[in-house]
Amino acid sequence: MALFIGPNLDPDEQRIPIAEAIGLMEGYRNFEDREKWHFVANLLHRSHGEVEFLEAHIKRLFENEEYDKISDGYRSNSLALPGSESFRVRINRWRPVGTRPIDNYVDIGLSYGIAHNHDFQLITKGIFGDGYRTKVFKIKSDACAGAVGEPTKLHPQGEFQLCDQSVIWFEAFEDIHIQIPPDDESISFNLIPTERNFEKPQLFFDTTSSTVSGFPENSFGSTLSYLDLMASLNSSQEVSELLVEIAMSSRSRWFRTCVASILSRRLGMEYAEALDKFELAPEFRSAKFDSEQFSTVNIR
Ligand SMILES: [Fe+2]
C-alpha cells in the first residue's frame, strides 16, 4: 500500500541536509521488503534544502562549456540530479494545464489523467508549489498477466496531494495512480532505487472498466517496438531465432509473451508454439488471452 506522509514534521525530529540524507539512505539495506522504502521515505521527509540542491546543480550544468550538449532524454519536464550508489535522483516539473499552446504535448509527457503503475519503487517529495493531486489504487500484480482488456480489481486507496514537504512512496507494480495537474507550477523530488526488478511490466489501466488498457512506450515498450520493427523488415529464420533468444534471456513472463505475439503476428509462428518455447506459467498460456492482447499495437 502506498505511504503518504503529510508536510508537518514532529518538532523533536531532526532535519538533515538533502546531500547528507541521500548518503544515509544506504542504510535501507538493513531493512526487509516494504520497511526499506518506509525508511527512505522518512529520511526524505526529514531532509531539507532540495531546492538549493537543484539550483546548485543547474548552475554547475551551465558552468560546463558543453552545456548545449547536455540532454538526458526527458525534455524540460525532468532533470537528473546527482544520486548515490543505490538511488537515482530526478526532479519533475508539474505544469498546470490550460495556459500554453503546448499543453497537449505536456499532458502526454506528464501522464496526466492516465492510470498507471511504475516498474520501480518511487519515493517522491513535493519541494515547490501546490503539487499534483493523485488518486491511488492498489492491484495484486501477481494476479495480473498484463493482457490488454484483462479485468483487474483496482482497490481505491484514496486521493492525496503532493504538497510542499509531503512525501509519497508508490510501491512498484502494486500501486496504480492518476496524476491530476496542479493549479500552479510544482516540482517533485524523486528517488528511484538502482536496485530494480524487471519481472513485471509498467501498464496503463482503465479505472472505469477496471481493466488493463495498454503499455507505455518506455522500458519494455521501446524494446518491443524495435523487435517488432526488425521482424516487420526481415522475416528470416535468423530474426525469428534472435527473438526467441532475446525473450528467453528475460526474467519477465509478460515480456516473453509479448515477443510470442510478435513471432505469431510477424513471423508466422503459431502463437501456442511460441508460448510453449518460452516455458510460460499457465496463466500466460490460458485460452482466455489471445496474442492481440500482448501485441505492440497496445503501446501508447
Ligand atoms: Fe506516476
Residue 295 near residue 271 (C-beta atoms within 8 A) = no
Q: What is the pTM assigned to this prediction?
A: 0.91
Distance from residue 140's CA to the centre of ligand 1 (Å): 18
Distance from residue 267's CA to the centre of ligand 1 (Å): 35
Distance from residue 170's CA to the centre of ligand 1 (Å): 8
Distance from residue 7's CA to the centre of ligand 1 (Å): 20
Q: What is the pLDDT of residue 118?
A: 95
Distance from residue 115's CA to the centre of ligand 1 (Å): 8
Distance from residue 108's CA to the centre of ligand 1 (Å): 12
Distance from residue 107's CA to the centre of ligand 1 (Å): 13
DSSP summary character for residue 292: G
Domains of the chain in sequence order: 3-214 (2.60.120.10), 220-292 (no CATH)
Q: What is the pLDDT of residue 272?
A: 87
Distance from residue 229's CA to the centre of ligand 1 (Å): 28
Distance CA 38, CA 163 (A): 19
Q: What is the pLDDT of residue 67?
A: 72
Distance from residue 157's CA to the centre of ligand 1 (Å): 15
What is the chain's alpha carbon radius of gyration, rounded to the nearest angstrom?
Answer: 21
Question: In Å, how far are 190, 200, 201, 252, 284 from 142, measured between CA atoms?
Answer: 26, 9, 11, 12, 12
Q: What is the pLDDT of residue 19?
A: 96
Distance from residue 189's CA to the centre of ligand 1 (Å): 13
Q: What is the pLDDT of residue 201?
A: 94
Distance CA 170, CA 173 (A): 9
Distance CA 125, CA 112 (A): 18
Distance from residue 159's CA to the centre of ligand 1 (Å): 14
Distance from residue 240's CA to the centre of ligand 1 (Å): 35
Distance from residue 178's CA to the centre of ligand 1 (Å): 7
Distance from residue 287's CA to the centre of ligand 1 (Å): 32
Helical residues (DSSP H) of the chain, grouped into ranges: 18-24, 33-46, 50-63, 103-109, 220-233, 237-248, 253-266, 271-277, 282-285
Q: What is the pLDDT of residue 99?
A: 61
Distance from residue 123's CA to the centre of ligand 1 (Å): 11
Q: What is the pLDDT of residue 100?
A: 59
Nearest Cα residue to 220 out of 276, 298, 278, 274: 298
Distance from residue 265's CA to the centre of ligand 1 (Å): 31
Amino acid at 38: H
Per-residue pLDDT of the chain in tens (300 residues, 90 and over written 9):
689 999 998 888 889 999 999 999 999 999 999 999 999 999 999 999 999 999 999 998 888 777 776 766 556 788 999 999 999 999 999 988 766 555 555 555 677 889 999 999 999 999 999 999 999 999 999 999 999 999 999 999 999 999 999 999 999 999 999 999 999 999 999 999 998 888 999 999 999 999 999 999 888 999 999 999 999 999 999 999 999 999 999 999 999 999 999 999 999 999 988 988 887 766 667 667 889 999 999 998
Residues 6 or more apart whose CB falls under 8 angstroms from that of 162 comprise 124, 125, 126, 131, 132, 133, 134, 168, 186, 188
Distance from residue 206's CA to the centre of ligand 1 (Å): 15
Distance from residue 87's CA to the centre of ligand 1 (Å): 17
